[in-house]
Amino acid sequence: MTLAVDVIKSGGRRQPEKFQREKLHASIVAACLSVRAPEGQAEAIAHAVCDSVIAWLENHPEVTSQDIRIITTKHLKVHHPEAAYLYEQNRITI
């Protein structure tokens, strides 16, 4: 699913891209699996966190990739603090 939200990449040198739920979902799953969360739990967490991030994005037509990382970390912390820590620290996950 592509939401009508422009994501400005960090550094400002690359072109902005449209927000993609699949990309965010995959990055959250990767963070959860990296801290040995079961695959089913990782998928469920990613689904819930993506919903929360998309709800936030509804009022924000243009955001930076850093914004998405911060909001995702905030919601991921509720479900899996360890995965959230990894997500926050590892900038290449999204």
State the residue for tokens 């509804």.
58
Q: What b/e string do you get for 66-91 counting C-beta neighbours within 10 Å, with b at 16 or more?
A: ebbbebbbebbbebbeebbebbbeee
Nearer to another protein, 19 or 37 (CB): 19
> How far is Cα 51 from Cα 57, in angstroms, rounded to an integer?
10
Q: With CB under 8 A, what is the number of residues at the site for another protein?
A: 12
Which window, 4-12, 26-34, 46-54, 82-90, contacts another protein (CB under 8 A)? 4-12
Chain positions 12 to 71 lying near another protein, rule: CB under 8 A, are 12, 59-64, 66-67, 70
Indicate which single residue of 6, 17, 43, 88 sits in contact with another protein (rule: CB under 8 A): 6
